[in-house]
Amino acid sequence: MTDSSRETPDDGRIRAERTTAQLDGEFVVFVIGMRLNRLWKVHKWLPVAAAMPRMLRELDADPESGLLHHESLFGWRLLVSVQYWDSFEELRAYARDLDREHVPAWASYNESSAGTGDVGIFHETYVVEGDDYESLYNDMPRFGLGAAGRLRRADDEVETAGKRLGVADDDLLVGDDGRVGERY
């Protein structure tokens, strides 16, 4: 897993408490990745796999890019980058900038691999407005939204997912003893 954050460097410390993320205003969650469909076609998927670290290094070196944080996740046949951006406009500006790493990587994939079935690529873009999100981290270092923004204790008015989203909640909670039960 790779970690990048603009606001607070991640010290890797595990926070032995329940925390939740806070971000101000609109932000974007961008999930981009690739799937190795034909493992033996290394010459097709290796250039695609090598392009993402170059792009992330370029973005990390530019604090004005709009990238708040990213996590890289790896699975069987799958490489995924979850990215948190200030705005869709900044994400789009990077994606279309002819002087940056993305456009050449995009063109290279389209010329050599698109339509062959050897390596698949995907992305999903979520524009999040206001408080239309919630998160919980328990015994975790800074991660995901919690690394893109600020962390606060998940107690009182933000104790449950329902409370964090501003919807009615039940009284099923985890007590101080770690047991799940109803609050009386």
pLDDT computed for residue 90 by the predictor: 98
Distance CA 150, CA 108 (A): 37
Which residues, listed in sequence order, are joined to residue 21 by a DSSP beta bridge?
151
Residue 182 pLDDT level (bands cut at 50, 70, 90): low
What is the rounded average pLDDT of the residues 3-26?
Answer: 75
**Domains of the chain (ranges, CATH numbers):** 3-23+133-182 (no CATH), 27-128 (3.30.70.100)
pLDDT computed for residue 172 by the predictor: 61
Residue 3 pLDDT level (bands cut at 50, 70, 90): very low
Encode pLDDT of 107-145 as tens digits.
999 999 999 999 999 999 999 998 889 999 999 999 999
pTM, to two decimals? 0.84
Residue 52 pLDDT level (bands cut at 50, 70, 90): very high
pLDDT computed for residue 165 by the predictor: 84
39 or 168, which is more confident: 39
Residue 157 pLDDT level (bands cut at 50, 70, 90): confident
Helix (H, G, I), strand (E, B) or coil at 80: strand
Angle between helices 88-96 and 102-112 (to 10 degrees): 60
Distance CA 3, CA 69 (A): 7
Mean pLDDT of the chain: 88
**Taking the CA of residue 171 as centre, how many other CA atoms within 13 Å lie in the half-sphere pointing to its CB?**
3
pLDDT computed for residue 10 by the predictor: 62
Q: Which range has the worst mean pLDDT, 22-36, 37-51, 142-156? A: 142-156
What is the rounded average pLDDT of the residues 11-29?
Answer: 90
